[in-house]
Amino acid sequence: MKHADIIIIGGGAAGFFAAITAASVKPDLSIIILEQSKEVLQKVRISGGGRCNATHACFDPKELINFYPRGAKELLGPFYSFGPSQTIEWFKNHGVSLKTETDGRMFPVTDSSETILNCFSDLTKKMGIKVFTNVKVKNYHYKQSAELKFEIITDSENYTCNQMMLATGSSPFIWNLLKTQGYHVIEPVPSLFTFNLPKHPICNLMGLSVPKAKVYIKDTKISSDGPLLITHWGLSGPAVLKASAWGAGVLAERKYEFDILVDWVPDINVPAINQLREEMAKKKVVSNPLFSIPSRLWQFITNNIITDREKNWASLSKMEMTDMINQLKSSSFSVKGKTTFKEEFVTAGGVSLEQINFRSFQSKLQPGLFLAGEVLNIDALTGGFNFQAAWTGGYLAGTEMGKKQE
Ligand SMILES: Cc1cc2nc3c(=O)[nH]c(=O)nc-3n(C[C@H](O)[C@H](O)[C@H](O)COP(=O)(O)OP(=O)(O)OC[C@H]3O[C@@H](n4cnc5c(N)ncnc54)[C@H](O)[C@@H]3O)c2cc1C
């Protein structure tokens, strides 16, 4: 049986950040990370297309929490303690400079996730943190009153420790184990996916993107706006990914078969469309797109409405004009299935948040046990927010674990 002051289960973003933080607070602590795979930090490595979108340039916690469909309320306080500003500063102090892209996403200036992997690897070595790979944690026993609170059962050796952290990401095995320990786990479902429109003619416009559209999921209150991309299998882009995140639960219940409405011109109302019609009265409808609608999309929309390609705006019938407005403001699509967004995906669901004290990411059920990252029912939109939640939780948990051992 091996022993350490702190044992962290899961060698991912939250686990490494917690271990390094605890070791900074109290350098002589014995800390072990147990990782089931043969390599640690695999998601960090592949994240952001190999560049690691580590955080987002959003510095007001009240604004930042709007990017979290689950966990917003609970993360507000933690973000005041350790948010994107502190993350940028932390990485800078440890030799990793981050840069901001025009959409606010932040990456290492090297454009390589390896920079972050190397940073964590150097720090763990320097700080004497032991990392054991190919060790799968199968169970743990908890004794509240004992000095040695935890006994950890793995598929090889067993361990004891005073404080333990679960940073196991989206692991069904660990969620099932936690249920047996009395935790409430919200059923996990995928988030951040794109919508399939099998054989829909709009897919012929693959590659086309609209700078701002609004997507409504019918029979729900879910809507989202932003750039929308047409792919060879359906619809993608930030507007769709956002809708998938906010609707993760309800869309899973509907087995990913649902109807959506797309507003191609969300900033323009119906009177403005009618007004423009008058201004363009003598111009041909087909060759004079309204607003900034890309011409291939305009052809697609008008094909559905007018057969006479020579018609000008003034000669559109009342019915054709109504159709036009419907197509522009609420094109209807039946979604059948989803496709994983390869750049970034997460799981919605996990350990219920009321069982966690968010000042330190400590369990209320089993004090001495810390949980952070995707194991919790916290997830965000794409853009660096998911890692931010992992760094924030890891930092606050690590700080508390370090302090407790002082
Ligand atoms: C392809 C992809 C790209 C992404 N890109 C981005 C991005 O650019 N920006 C962003 O913000 N987010 C991104 N994400 C999301 C981000 O990777 C996660 O939110 C983040 O990694 C969560 O960190 P974590 O520490 O909670 O879990 P993880 O990083 O998943 O780490 C958990 C670790 O625990 C280990 N483990 C699990 N069970 C056990 C066990 N029983 N015993 C021992 N070890 C165990 C796992 O093997 C794993 O190594 C991406 C996700 C994917 C899949």
Domain ranges across the chain? 2-190+344-404, 194-340
* CATH number for the domain formed by residue range(s) 2-190+344-404: 3.50.50.60
d(CA 210, CA 233) in angstroms, rounded, equals 16
pLDDT tier for residue 267 given thresholds of 50, 70 and 90: very high
Q: Which atom of ligand 1 is nearest to the CA of 173?
A: 41
| Alpha carbon of 375 to ligand 1 centroid (Å) | 9
Burial class of residue 248 (count of CB atoms within 10 Å of its CB; 0-12, 13-18, 19+) = buried
Q: Could you tell me which residues are beta bridge partners of residue 186? A: 350
CA dihedral in degrees (275, 280, 284, 288; nearest 10)?
-80
List helix spans (H) across 61-181.
Answer: 61-64, 72-81, 84-93, 114-127, 172-180
d(CA 98, CA 200) in angstroms, rounded, equals 41
d(CA 17, CA 124) in angstroms, rounded, equals 10
Q: Choose the residue to mutate in 47, 180, 379 for probing ligand 1, maximizing ligand atoms within 8 Å of C-beta.
A: 47
pLDDT tier for residue 382 given thresholds of 50, 70 and 90: very high
| Alpha carbon of 143 to ligand 1 centroid (Å) | 29
Q: Among 269, 257, 214, which Cα is nearest to 237's?
A: 214
Residues 6+ apart with CB under 8 A from 72: 65, 66
pLDDT tier for residue 219 given thresholds of 50, 70 and 90: very high
d(CA 80, CA 201) in angstroms, rounded, equals 48
Q: Which is higher by pLDDT, 21 or 316?
A: 21
Residue 337: other Cβ atoms inside 10 A:
15
- Across residues 295-311, what is the average pLDDT? 89
| SS3 (DSSP) at 327 | helix
Nearest residue by C-alpha to atom 2 in ligand 1:
344
- Across residues 281-295, what is the average pLDDT? 85
pLDDT above 70 as % of the chain: 100
| Alpha carbon of 297 to ligand 1 centroid (Å) | 38
Residues at CB less than 6 angstroms from ligand 1: 9-15, 34-37, 42-43, 46-48, 52-53, 136-137, 167-169, 171, 173-174, 344-346, 373-375, 384-387, 390
**How confident is the model over 119-152, as pLDDT tens digits?**
999 999 999 999 999 999 999 999 987 777 899 9
Number of H helices, E strands in the chain: 13, 21
Q: Which atom of ligand 1 is nearest to the CA of 385?
A: 11
**How confident is the model over 145-183, as pLDDT tens digits?**
777 789 999 999 999 999 999 999 999 999 999 999 999
Tokens of 313: 């705006």
**How confident is the model over 102-116, as pLDDT tens digits?**
999 999 999 999 999
Is residue 290 predicted with pLDDT exceeding 80? Answer: no
| Residue tagged 């959003």 (tokens) | 58
Q: Choose the residue to mutate in 153, 168, 194 for probing ligand 1, maximizing ligand atoms within 8 Å of C-beta.
A: 168
| Alpha carbon of 43 to ligand 1 centroid (Å) | 5
d(CA 331, CA 264) in angstroms, rounded, equals 8
| Element containing residue 217 per DSSP (H, E) | strand 209-217
Q: Where are the beta strands (DSSP E) in 321-381?
A: 331-336, 338-340, 346-351, 356-357, 362-363, 369-371
**How confident is the model over 313-357, as pLDDT tens digits?**
899 899 999 999 999 999 999 999 999 998 888 999 999 999 999
The answer to whether the beta carbons of residues 360 and 396 sit under 8 Å apart is yes
Mean pLDDT of the chain: 95
The answer to whether the beta carbons of residues 41 and 117 sit under 8 Å apart is yes
d(CA 117, CA 127) in angstroms, rounded, equals 15
Nearest residue by C-alpha to atom 1 in ligand 1:
344
Q: Which atom of ligand 1 is nearest to the CA of 55?
A: 11
359 secondary structure, DSSP code: T
pLDDT in the model for residue 2? 94
d(CA 314, CA 350) in angstroms, rounded, equals 57
pLDDT in the model for residue 145? 79
The answer to whether the beta carbons of residues 85 and 63 sit under 8 Å apart is no
pLDDT above 90 as % of the chain: 87
189 secondary structure, DSSP code: E
Tokens of 161: 């420790």
Is residue 406 predicted with pLDDT exceeding 70? Answer: no
Q: Which atom of ligand 1 is nearest to the CA of 13?
A: 25
Q: Among 4, 34, 8, which Cα is nearest to 21's?
A: 8
Is residue 405 predicted with pLDDT exceeding 80? Answer: no
Tokens of 52: 């690691």
The answer to whether the beta carbons of residues 12 and 44 sit under 8 Å apart is yes
φ, ψ at 231 (rounded to 5°): -115, 175
| Alpha carbon of 10 to ligand 1 centroid (Å) | 9
| Alpha carbon of 294 to ligand 1 centroid (Å) | 38
Give how far Cα 73 sits from Cα of 50, 62, 68, 359, Å.
31, 9, 9, 13
Residue 118: other Cβ atoms inside 10 A:
14
Q: Among 316, 279, 390, 340, which Cα is nearest to 20's?
A: 390
Give how far Cα 176 sits from Cα of 44, 167, 179, 339, 351, Å.
25, 15, 5, 26, 10
- Across residues 9-16, what is the average pLDDT? 98
